[in-house]
Structure 1
C-alpha cells in the first residue's frame, strides 16, 4: 500500500520529528539529522503554515509575464518545502511512540488541509500556472496535472460554492483521521483459555500476554491474528476472534463511513458529477465507473464458479478429516483460512509457521536489499542516526556505478501499540533533479520478529517495490516524483516485484544471509510453496473483487440512500462464504477512507499491468539489463509521462491482459 499526502508538496524542520534525515540539496551525500521534541510539533506547525501563507501572498504579486518562464521553478521549490512539512507529519501520526505526538500531528494536518484548500482555490496562483509556458512534454504534463488539481478544488466555483467545498474537505480530513484513529488506538484484547490455543506453536504462545486468571490476551496486530486464524483448532475460538477483529474499528466507524460517503457524494454533486466514483476516476487510467464495473464484473464471472469449486473441495477435505457427513462440514468465513492451511499441509507438505525458519526476518531484509541491489545497480549502506524507535533502521542508497547518493530508506518492521497496523510506504521526501533533491521513503510493516511466512515475505517485497519506486525516481519536479502516477497504476510496480518472493532464481539466495544459519530452501520445497500459495487463489480473487465492488457501490450515484453496513451485509451475503451476523467489516476497511475510496479496484487493475510488465524478464528475473531498463523507463520517470506511455516504452507495445486471465483462471504456470 502506498501513501501520499493529497496535495503533494510542504516544510523543512518537521522531518526531524521522525528522527529523520534532512538532505542538504548542495551536499546530498551528507544528510543532517536535527531532532525536535513534542512541543515543537504544535509550535512549528502554526508558525510554518503562517510562513506558507506569507509566501503565497508574495507569489500573488508575480507578474504573469514573468511567470511564463520562471513559475515552474518557483513552484517546484515551494512544493519541496511544503512536502517536507506534510509528509513527516503524516507518518508521525501513524508511527510515533508518543500518543500526544500522534494527536498533535493529526491536528496539524487538519490545519494544513484548510491552508491547502485555500491555496488550490487561489485564482491568482491558478493564473500563474495558466500563464506559465511549457518548454517540453514534462512541463506540459506538470501544468496539466496541477491545473486539474486546482479545478478539482473548485477554482472555477463561485465564492459560495468554494466555501461549501472547503467545508466538505475539512470535514473529510477530520472524519478520516477519526476513523483511522479508532482502529489504530484500539487497545482491546480478546481473552482465550489455554485450551482455545491448541494447534498454535509454543513460540507463538510464549509471546502472548496473560491476565490474572492465566488466560491469554490477544490484540488485533497481524502477527497475533493471522496465525491464530490459520492454526487454532478450536472453531468457536476462531469465530470469536474473527467477530471481534471485524469490529475493531468500533460501531463509531460505521457512522463515520456513512458521513464520509455522504460528504463525497455532496462533493461530486458540487462539480456536476453523478457520483463520487465519476469524480474520482475521471483522471485515472480507467476514466469512468462503467469501465471499472465491467472490469470487476468480468473478473467475478471467471472466479465465482472457481471459488465454489475450491470451497467444495475444502468442504470434502474437512468432512474426510473429521469423519463427519459432508453436509456438516460447511466452510465458514472464520474457518476458511484454517482449513485451507490444513489442506496445504496435507497436499503440499507446506506449513506456513515452519517457513519462518527459512525466512528469518533479519535475513529476509538483507536478502531483499541485496537482490534489489543486483537488479537495479544500487548499494544500501546502513547509517546510525536517531530514529523514532530503536527497532527502526535507516539506509543510504547509492548508485553502484556512479556512487551518486540516490536517497534514504527507513524500515519500521515490527508491531507496537499505537502504530499503523498494516504494511505501507510513505514517501517523505520526493525527488527533483532541478534542485538536486534526493528522496526519502519510510517502509512500515508489522512482522513477526523471528521470521516470515511466504505471504509475509511477499508483502515485504511488495512494499519494498513502492519504496524503490520513490527512491529511484529521477524526476525534474517534486510533484511528478515516484508514486505520483495514476492511482490505478501505482500498485503495478510493487505487484510485479512480488514475483521475486516466489521465483527460484531470486528466492533460493535467501539462506546465504542467515546468521546463524537457517535451512536452505530447495527448488523442490519452493515448488510446493508456490503450489500451496496458488491453491485457493479463486477465493482470494473473489474476495478482492467483492471489496472493489463494495467500494464502487458505496460511491455510486445512489450512495446517499445506502447504509454502508447494509450494503456489505447484502453483498457479502451473496458470496459463497456468506455474511456472519454481527460482523462489521466496513468499519475497519481503512483503504476506503484513505486514498483508495472509489479506487480499491486499482489493486486488480494494476495486477493486469504488473503481470504483463513481468513478461519482459522472460525466464531470467535477475537480468540486470532488463532491470536497468525497467529502472529507467518506469521507476525513474514517476508521472512525467502517462502510465500508458511508460508501459509502452518498457514493453515496446501496449499492455494486454493475457497473463492476468491465466492467473485468475488458474492456468498460470507459476
Structure 2
C-alpha cells in the first residue's frame, strides 16, 4: 500500500511560472543525481547500499529525462520548449559521463558475488551490462571518443525531432477541392479568396487524402506531407547514422543493428532482416489480392498508380462498395468527448480501475487530468493527463510520455497521452489509435509501484512494448463495447451490423499494409546497416521491393519519419509485438471480453510487473505456455468477409 501522504506532482498554476519551475526541477534533479553518484563512490566496496544509491541516482535522473522530454514537445511557450531541449541534452550528457565512470562501475562490480535478492540482482546485472555497452571497460582514448559521439548523437536526435516539429507546411487548394470532405472539416477550413489551407498536421492531411475527390490536389497535399523536414533532416540523418555506426564499432560490435538488438527480444541484428522478409512473405498473397482491387478502383477513377497520395481514397471506395462501410457515416458515432469517456469506462471495467477527474493545473487548458484508483480498495495508483488535440509546434504524432516515474513509497507514476485528434467527430482509425496509446498509459501506471525504478512503467524489452497496446485495440472493435459509447447526435448507438461490417472492412488491407510496415522496418534497418550515400535513392529501392503502395514522386519520406530517431534500426518491433499481441488476445473469450478472471490475471501477470522480468516469461506466465505465431498467422491468412457475410 502506498504511503498515505504520497501525492501527484504539483504543477505551476500560472503560465508565467512554468519556465522557472521546469528550470528549478530539472536542475534539482541533476544536482540530486550528482550527489548520489558522489555518495555511491564513497560507499564501502561490497556494501548493498551501493545499489540503493544507484537506484536514487536513476530516480533523480529519470525524472529529469521525463520532464524535459515532455516539455520539449507539448508546452505552448517556446521558451519552456527550448528549456526542455537544453535539459534533455544535459541529462543525456550526465548519463553518458555516468556510464563511462570507472569508479562507479567498480563500486557496482564489487557486488557481483553478493547474495542479492532476485530484483536487486536483475538491477545490478542490467546496470553492469549498460556500463559495458557504454564502453567503461575500454581504454581512455576510446572512452573519450564514445563520450563525444554520444553527445553528438543527442544533438542530432534533438535536431531531427525539432525539424519535424517545426517543419509544419501548408498547401493552398481551391475551395472545390473540399468536395467529399465532411461538413465539420469544411467548417474548420475557411475559404480566403477562393482558396483553403491544408496543413501537414494529421487531422488536416489524412482526411483530405481519404475523402478528397480531386486527385491532383490530393497529390499536392501528399507531396507537402511527405516532404516534411526536407531537406534539413537529410543531412542530419546521414550524420546520425554515421555517428551511431562509429559508436557501435568502437564498442566492439559489428554494426549499429547488432548493438541495438542486444537488449531486445530478437537479440541479434542479423535476425532483423530475416524477420522482415519472413513477414513480407507471409503477407504476399493477401497483399497481391488487395492491391489489385485498389488498382482497379484507381483505374476506374482515371489514375494509373496506387501511391501514398491516393491509397486511402481508393481503399475507402472499396470498403463502401464491398462492405457497405462509409467512413463519413462512421464519424457521426464518434464524438470526441464521448469516445474519451467511453475509453475510460471500458478500461476501468477491464482492469478494475476508477478514474477521478481532477481540476489540476497543466501546460494547456485542453489537457484533462484524472487520478487512477483501484476499484477494490480505492488505492491511488497514479495520475494521467490526456492532451489529445493539435496546436502549433506540438508533437505531431500520438504517443505516451512520462511525467513522473512511479516508485514504491516514494512517488506516484504520472503519464501523459499526447495525440492530435479532432475536437469534434473522430475518424474510426483515430479511435483505434486512442485505445492503442492508452494501453501504454495503463502499462505506465499499473507498473508504477516497484522499489527499483529500473522496473517502473513501460520498462520491458523494446520489441514487446507495443504488444499490450496492440491487444487493447481489440476492445475498440467489439460491437458491445462500441455501442456503450459510440452514439450519434440523437443518442442512437452504432448498429451492431455496421460494427461487424466495419471489422470486415478493416481486415481488407492487412496484407498490403503489412507490406508497408515491412518497408518502414527495412528502411529503419538498412539505413543503419548500410548508411547509403543517397538516402532518397535507397528509400525508393526499399519501398519498391517491399511496399505495394508507391512513394509520391519527388518526396523524401525519411526526413519526416521520426521513428528513425527513437526506434533506430528497430522499427521491426511493431510487427514483432503484433505477433505476441495476437497470441495474448487468444486467451480472452470474445463473447466475454470483460471476464474479470482473465482480465485481472493479464493485468497482474503482464502489466503490473513492468520490467521486473523478461517479457517472454511474463507472456508464458499469462498464457501457460511460450508465445507462438499461430494466432497471428491465422489472422493474416484469413480473407475478410464480404458485406453479406458480415451481416
Same fold (TM over 0.5): yes
Q: 2:181 aligns with which of 175, 200, 209?
A: 200
1:104-503 aligned within 5 A: 104-132=83-111, 133=114, 135-211=116-192, 213-319=193-299, 321-322=300-301, 329-433=304-408, 435-473=409-447, 474-503=449-478
Q: Is the counterpart of residue 94 in structure 1 residue 73 in structure 2? A: yes
**How much has 1:40 moved relative to structure 2?**
4.7
**How much has 1:205 moved relative to structure 2?**
1.4
- What is the alpha-carbon distance in structure 2 between the residues aligned to residue 188 and residue 576 of structure 1? 27
Tell me the secondary structure at the aligned position of residue 592 of structure 1: helix
Q: Is the counterpart of residue 28 in structure 1 residue 1 in structure 2? A: no
Contact 2:175 2:191 in 1 (8 A): no
Contact 1:475 1:636 in 2 (8 A): no
- What is the alpha-carbon distance in structure 2 between the residues aligned to residue 98 and residue 626 of structure 1? 45
**How much has 1:72 moved relative to structure 2?**
2.7
1:498-537 aligned within 5 A: 498-511=473-486, 517-537=490-510
**How much has 1:32 moved relative to structure 2?**
3.7
Residues 43 and 503 from structure 1, CA distance in 2 versus in 1: closer, same or farther, beyond 3 angstroms?
A: closer
Partner of 1:663: 635
- What is the alpha-carbon distance in structure 2 between the residues aligned to residue 440 and residue 471 of structure 1? 7
- What is the alpha-carbon distance in structure 2 between the residues aligned to residue 375 and residue 92 of structure 1? 31
**How much has 1:612 moved relative to structure 2?**
0.2
**How much has 1:616 moved relative to structure 2?**
0.9
Q: 1:566 aligns with which of 497, 517, 537?
A: 537
Residues 581 and 380 from structure 1, CA distance in 2 versus in 1: closer, same or farther, beyond 3 angstroms?
A: same
Contact 1:358 1:518 in 2 (8 A): no
| CA displacement, residues 90-140 of structure 1 (integer Å, 9 cap, x when unaligned) | 100000001121112112211221111111111222222222335322222
- What is the alpha-carbon distance in structure 2 between the residues aligned to residue 414 and residue 529 of structure 1? 25
- What is the alpha-carbon distance in structure 2 between the residues aligned to residue 34 and residue 456 of structure 1? 31
Tell me the secondary structure at the aligned position of residue 186 of structure 1: coil
Contact 1:505 1:621 in 2 (8 A): no
Tell me the secondary structure at the aligned position of residue 613 of structure 2: coil
- What is the alpha-carbon distance in structure 1 between the residues aligned to residue 28 and residue 616 of structure 2? 42
| CA displacement, residues 329-373 of structure 1 (integer Å, 9 cap, x when unaligned) | 443331111111111112222222332221111111111111111
- What is the alpha-carbon distance in structure 1 between the residues aligned to residue 543 and residue 28 of structure 2? 48
Q: Which moved more, 1:197-206 or 1:373-382?
A: 197-206
**How much has 1:245 moved relative to structure 2?**
0.5
Contact 2:584 2:623 in 1 (8 A): yes
- What is the alpha-carbon distance in structure 2 between the residues aligned to residue 466 and residue 239 of structure 1? 34
- What is the alpha-carbon distance in structure 2 between the residues aligned to residue 39 and residue 238 of structure 1? 45
- What is the alpha-carbon distance in structure 1 between the residues aligned to residue 451 and residue 39 of structure 2? 24
Q: Is the counterpart of residue 643 in structure 1 residue 622 in structure 2? A: no
**How much has 1:600 moved relative to structure 2?**
0.4
**How much has 1:47 moved relative to structure 2?**
5.9
**How much has 1:667 moved relative to structure 2?**
4.9
**How much has 1:653 moved relative to structure 2?**
0.2
Residues 472 and 450 from structure 1, CA distance in 2 versus in 1: closer, same or farther, beyond 3 angstroms?
A: same
Tell me the secondary structure at the aligned position of residue 270 of structure 2: helix
Tell me the secondary structure at the aligned position of residue 101 of structure 1: helix
Matched residues, number: 633
**How much has 1:45 moved relative to structure 2?**
4.2
- What is the alpha-carbon distance in structure 2 between the residues aligned to residue 408 and residue 80 of structure 1? 18
**How much has 1:480 moved relative to structure 2?**
0.9
- What is the alpha-carbon distance in structure 1 between the residues aligned to residue 27 and residue 60 of structure 2? 15
- What is the alpha-carbon distance in structure 2 between the residues aligned to residue 291 and residue 31 of structure 1? 42
- What is the alpha-carbon distance in structure 2 between the residues aligned to residue 364 and residue 72 of structure 1? 45
Contact 1:357 1:519 in 2 (8 A): no
Q: 1:550 aligns with which of 523, 544, 547?
A: 523
Contact 2:620 2:626 in 1 (8 A): yes
**How much has 1:307 moved relative to structure 2?**
1.8
Partner of 1:62: 43
**How much has 1:27 moved relative to structure 2?**
1.1
Tell me the secondary structure at the aligned position of residue 37 of structure 1: helix
TM-score by length of 1: 0.91
Tell me the secondary structure at the aligned position of residue 192 of structure 1: strand
Contact 2:168 2:228 in 1 (8 A): no
Tell me the secondary structure at the aligned position of residue 272 of structure 2: helix
Q: Is the counterpart of residue 629 in structure 1 residue 610 in structure 2? A: no
| CA displacement, residues 619-670 of structure 1 (integer Å, 9 cap, x when unaligned) | 3211111111011101100111111110110101000101111222235899
Contact 2:335 2:486 in 1 (8 A): no
Contact 1:357 1:518 in 2 (8 A): no
TM-score by length of 2: 0.94
Tell me the secondary structure at the aligned position of residue 406 of structure 2: coil
Residues 102 and 210 from structure 1, CA distance in 2 versus in 1: closer, same or farther, beyond 3 angstroms?
A: farther
- What is the alpha-carbon distance in structure 1 between the residues aligned to residue 490 and residue 375 of structure 2? 28
Partner of 1:601: 572
How big is the alpha-carbon RMSD for the aligned residues of Structure 1 and Structure 2? 2.0
Residues 304 and 181 from structure 1, CA distance in 2 versus in 1: closer, same or farther, beyond 3 angstroms?
A: same
- What is the alpha-carbon distance in structure 1 between the residues aligned to residue 553 and residue 305 of structure 2? 16
Contact 2:8 2:414 in 1 (8 A): no
**How much has 1:251 moved relative to structure 2?**
0.6
- What is the alpha-carbon distance in structure 2 between the residues aligned to residue 539 and residue 295 of structure 1? 17
**How much has 1:181 moved relative to structure 2?**
0.9
- What is the alpha-carbon distance in structure 1 between the residues aligned to residue 450 and residue 35 of structure 2? 28
Contact 2:580 2:627 in 1 (8 A): yes
Q: Is the counterpart of residue 585 in structure 1 residue 529 in structure 2? A: no
Residues 635 and 576 from structure 1, CA distance in 2 versus in 1: closer, same or farther, beyond 3 angstroms?
A: closer
| CA displacement, residues 355-400 of structure 1 (integer Å, 9 cap, x when unaligned) | 2221111111111111111111111001001111110011000111
Contact 2:460 2:610 in 1 (8 A): yes
> Where in structure 2 are there 5+ consecutive unaligned residues?
none
Contact 2:601 2:622 in 1 (8 A): yes
